[in-house]
Amino acid sequence: METFEIKTAGRSEFVEITDRVQAAVEKAGVRSGCAVVYVPHTTAGLTINEHADPDVISDIQTALDRLVPWDGSYRHSEGNAAAHIKSAMLGHSVTIPIENGRLVLGTWQGIFFAEFDGPRRRKVIVQVSGS
């Protein structure tokens, strides 16, 4: 298991972590198997999406803000209910196959850590299994 830290600078932010996950795969020495990437935070998430055009991630952030506005009438008293909801929508883990020691991702795909209650220091856990 490999753990690394992400330091976010804004309230909402998407950080591509594909290279760091690939490094964990290489460190584990697994040629065929899978990598489970997990964030142990209730106001952060993970997603796999296009990494070639940054407008895609910008559009996702805009859509999430439209669907779950910060100033909604929420009952959670800490003022970050929108962050919890967005985190629940994305989820806290992704699983990626590994073949020939490489993550099996589509040509345009990248793995993104999603911050919804920053700025903060966050942990990402990568569990690699296989042979």
CATH number at residue 24: 2.60.120.460
Select from 3, 88, 78, 2 the least CA-distant residue to 44: 88
- Reported as a single tens digit per residue, the pLDDT across 85-103 is 999 999 999 999 999 999 9
pTM of this structure: 0.96
| Structural contact between residues 51 and 16, judged by C-beta atoms closer than 8 angstroms | yes
Residue 106, number of CB atoms within 10 A of its CB: 8
Whether residue 84 is predicted with pLDDT greater than 90 in this model: the reply is yes
**108 touches 51 (CB < 8 A):** yes
pLDDT band at 104 (very low <50, low <70, confident <90, very high): very high
DSSP state of 52: S
How much is the pLDDT for 77?
87
Domain of 15, in residue numbers: 2-130
Long-range contacts of 76-84 (CB under 8 A, 24+ apart): 80/43, 80/116, 80/117, 82/116, 83/43, 83/116, 83/117, 84/42, 84/43, 84/116
Q: What is the pLDDT of residue 69?
A: 96
Domains in the chain, number: 1
CA 31 to chain centre: 23
